[in-house]
Amino acid sequence: MTTTPPATAVAADAHWAATRARLANRSRPTATLTICDDPGLKQNLADAEYHAKRTTAEAAEQADDKVAKARAATAKRDLTKAQQAFEDAAIRLRFQALPRPDFEALKKAHPPTEEQAEDGATFDAEALAPALIAASSLDGMTEDDAREYLATWGEGEAVALWATAWNIQSHTRLDTELGKG
């Protein structure tokens, strides 16, 4: 006795057909690396966010206090200005997960050195990094650009660039919790 329904029955199932269509049309995950070279803008934004939350909470607690409401409104305007200043200064680099065969081919195209292989590596991360960054960039970053940034940026920023491109490859948007089916 088989527990698998016939393929024609599965294909005819309207629910499964709709689910298959949705699965086929999913986009691959994306990630954004935000760079802001002005620490003052970042601090102003953090301060404005804190002040807006605090004054909004105070205004909610003191519903009849017009001064508290005015402070909250001012804080919200200040937050909007701080957000805009940050956005004007920020650089956003966007990355998208590659299709699995492309990602696997990219890793195979950058085999480990003999020493790396002895240590158990399956690819040469140093050589793969600029190729993966370029391949997954949604902004048109070239491999030469990526190589330059990895070589000239500070350690933390170079690692963040590589990690953003690498981590999006294994990002999941799945929920595997058990529940009502």
| Span 107-128, pLDDT tens digits | 999 999 999 999 999 999 999 9
* Identity of residue 114: E
pLDDT tier for residue 4 given thresholds of 50, 70 and 90: confident
- Domain limits, the chain: 39-89, 98-170
Supply the DSSP symbol for 96.
E
What is the predicted pLDDT for the residue at 97? 97
Would you tell me how many other CB atoms lie within 10 Å of the CB of residue 112? 19
Tokens of 60: 């909610």
Task: Judge contact between 146 and 134, C-beta under 8 A.
Answer: yes
Which residue in 48, 106, 114 sits closest to 78, CA to CA?
48
Which residue in 142, 32, 168, 150 sits closest to 94, CA to CA?
32
Beta partners for 96? 30
Residue 161, CA atoms < 13 Å, CB-side half-sphere: 29
Which CA distances in Å does 12 have to 2, 19, 168? 19, 12, 35
What is the predicted pLDDT for the residue at 65? 92
Distance of alpha carbon 148 from alpha carbon 134, whole angstroms: 12
Distance of alpha carbon 132 from alpha carbon 110, whole angstroms: 10
Q: Span 97-108, mean pLDDT? A: 97
Tokens of 101: 């065969």
pLDDT tier for residue 10 given thresholds of 50, 70 and 90: low
| Span 42-61, pLDDT tens digits | 999 999 999 999 999 999 99
| Span 142-175, pLDDT tens digits | 999 999 999 999 999 999 999 999 999 999 887 7
Tell me the range of 59-68, 75-84, 165-174 where mean pLDDT is highest: 75-84
Q: Please give the full DSSP string across 2-50, using - where no structure is assigned.
A: --SPPHHHHHH-HHHHHHHHHHHTPPPPEEEEEE---HHHHHHHHHHHH
What is the predicted pLDDT for the residue at 172? 86
The helix or strand, by DSSP H or E, that contains position 68, with its residue range, turns out to be: helix 66-89
pTM for the full predicted model = 0.78
